[in-house]
Amino acid sequence: MLSSTAWTAVLAGLGLGLSLIIAIGAQNAFVLRQGLRVEHVGAVVAVCALSDVVLICAGVLGAGALLLSRPGLLTAVCFAGAAFLLVYGAMAARRALRPAGALAADESGARTALAVTVATCLGLTWLNPHVYLDTVVLLGSLSTTYAEDRWWFAAGAAVGSAAWFTGLGFGARLLRPVFARPAAWRVLDAVIAVVMTALGVSLAVRGLSGG
């Protein structure tokens, strides 16, 4: 049975983990779209959740301090992430403007290959410097305040991440009646295009400023 301090660490990790990932961002937008299309949802959720577990553990093990000591590495990730997000944003904008072949909200539509979907999800996850700053640096730093209970803190954050991505991915299908209309897909893709482009530009600016 967990001690009171362990439970405190778990709940703190859960709360902070959820607060960091429940926001409109590249990763969440992608998971939402895949959930609405009911396309490789399990694989996408698994990639996001397992990636967060790896990053959280790295932060607890002290990778955050190493990352901060290598600003050039973060700058390189900024530029790579900016390029990736800008390309993805352009693709979303194209779908919004020319939706005929991209709305695929049912089984009759063209489906993206699993490998392509997983690769895109990995890119949106690992080429985002904010993931490292939030998950590795911030969570890693705060975990040290729980001393021997820091791994319970990490467990809470990991559970929060898994719960969020599972709910977002598999729960998105509840909105499918709304997205049965092509106009709704156009709006979603337009929003995704704006979010991806804005994040891409912000990363490029961050890279130019030295990370």
Q: State the DSSP string of 24-57.
A: --HHHHHHHHHHHHTSSHHHHHHHHHHHHHHHHH
Contact 93, 189 (CB under 8 A): yes
- pTM of structure: 0.79
Is residue 54 predicted with pLDDT exceeding 80? yes
- Both tokens of 47, joined, read 């990639």
Residue 103's pLDDT is what? 39
Average pLDDT in the chain: 84
Hey, CA dihedral for 106, 112, 115, 118, is it positive or negative?
A: negative
Range(s) of the domain holding residue 103: 4-208
Residue 106's pLDDT is what? 42
Total domains in the fold of the chain: 1
* Residues in Cβ contact with 8 at an 8 Å cutoff, skipping those fewer than 6 apart: 146, 149
pLDDT of 133-189, one tens digit each?
A: 778 888 888 888 888 898 999 999 999 999 999 999 999 989 888 877 878 888 888
CA 73 – CA 96 distance, rounded (Å): 34
Is residue 104 predicted with pLDDT exceeding 50? no
Other beta carbons within 10 angstroms of residue 77's beta carbon come to: 21
Question: In the chain, what is the straight-line distance between the N-terminal and C-terminal CA atoms, in Å?
Answer: 44
Residue 107's pLDDT is what? 43
Alpha carbon distances (Å) from 124 to 6, 15, 209 = 33, 23, 22
Q: Give the residue-averaged pLDDT of 4-33.
A: 85
